[in-house]
Structure 1
Amino acid sequence: MSIRHVLLGLLAGGPSHGYDLKRRYDERFPQARPLAYGQVYTTLQRLVRDGLAAVEGTDSDSGPERTLYRSTDEGSRELAGWAEEIAPPAPFVANEIFAKVVVSILVAAAADDDRTTGAAAYLQAQRAAHMERMRELTALKTTPGADLSTVLSADYALAHLDADVRWMTTTASRLATLTAEVDAA
């Protein structure tokens, strides 16, 4: 996710302080990777540097001084172009789970142990962790009063976790063949 563009999108609603942008980010993207305040302010400084945002002013409201940011016309154009771009499917899949399965086979081979036992145990434990996270997300999205952003974010995560679980099931059924290929290489 492009934090730069998300912040520009949040600024499209009008000038805001960094604190308010962070709060609105948390509300709009409840299942996303948390955004630190430092990242918000660093990104805002870069947006200002690049002419995509500008400082509207500062106020203190009898507290610490806070800077008010607004999107520029150039920022609005940048945001519109980004929002229309089709996100290309990843050309390569870097799957940590797959890497750990292969490494489990390699480690077992080096120790002259049964090649599939460690990999099968790892897949079973990883599947259990995925299933637990799926239960948590299902409970989250079915909580009475859950907002649509939370439900849609949970649905997205559930679809990806479900694909991982299906892949793990398929891989577990093919461990003997995979082990033979890894041993032959």
Structure 2
Amino acid sequence: MSVSRILLGLLEPHSQHGYVLRRRYDEWFGNSRPLKSAQVYATLGRLDRDGLIDLTGVASGVGPDRRVYAITEAGVGELDRWLDEPEVPEVTSSRRVLFAKVLIALSSGRPAEPMLDRQRHAHLDRMRELRAQRQAGDLLTQLDADFEMYHLDADLKWIDGAAARLARLAALVSRVDDAEKESR
């Protein structure tokens, strides 16, 4: 997720200081990984350096003074580009690991089916947690839970498809291993 682009988007409606930006980010996007204050201020520093935001003032109050930032025209242009650009669909590293585990298990002569069963149960447990969050949560929580649940559902379909092909996949992996042994 592009923290810098999200901060630009949060700044577009009106000038704000880092504390408010961090709170809004965590409120909307922090379910999986809240931002650290240092990351917010480092990102704001880079955005300022790159001319995408400007320091417009310093707000006094309880605690240290707070720098107030506003998005620039260049920042609005960058935000427009980011919003218009489709995200490249890609498989996350955790999903690649599952694929790798199946192949390594079969290549080493271990059964992959128990591992797939355990993964299926872990996915189903996570889906139950998400259903509970969705039922108890506000609209943002519901939408975020739906996003993850749909991806977990796709993973479950892959797990079922892989399980149905394990015998053929094991034979293929064995042939590749045998061919490599012969070439030595």
5 Å-filtered alignment, 1:113-124, equals 115=110, 117=111, 119-124=112-117
Match for 1:102: what amino acid? L
Residue among 139, 142, 161 paired with 2:135: 142
1:20 matched to 2:11: no
CA deviation string 1:102-136 (max 9, x = no partner): 1112233xxxxxx4x2x111111111111111001
CA deviation string 1:54-84 (max 9, x = no partner): 1122233131222211111110111012111
How far apart, CA to CA, are the structure 2 residues paired with 1:93 and 1:71? 32
Deviation at 1:32, TM superposition (A): 4.0
**CA RMSD across the alignment:** 1.7
CA contact (8 A) 1:15 1:68 kept: yes
1:43 matched to 2:43: yes
Any stretches of 5+ residues in structure 1 without a counterpart?
A: 109-114
1:181 matched to 2:172: yes
With normalisation by structure 1, the TM-score equals: 0.87
Q: Counterpart of 2:68 in 1: which secondary structure? A: strand
- Number of aligned residue pairs: 174
How far apart, CA to CA, are the structure 2 residues paired with 1:128 and 1:79? 40
Match for 2:166: what amino acid? L
How far apart, CA to CA, are the structure 1 residues paired with 2:40 and 2:151? 27
How far apart, CA to CA, are the structure 1 residues paired with 2:162 and 2:34? 32
1:126 — aligned with what?
119
How far apart, CA to CA, are the structure 1 residues paired with 2:108 and 2:37? 42
| Residue identity (%) | 46
5 Å-filtered alignment, 1:13-162, equals 13-90=13-90, 95-108=96-109, 115=110, 117=111, 119-143=112-136, 146-162=137-153
Q: Counterpart of 1:54 in 2: which secondary structure? A: strand
Match for 1:137: what amino acid? L
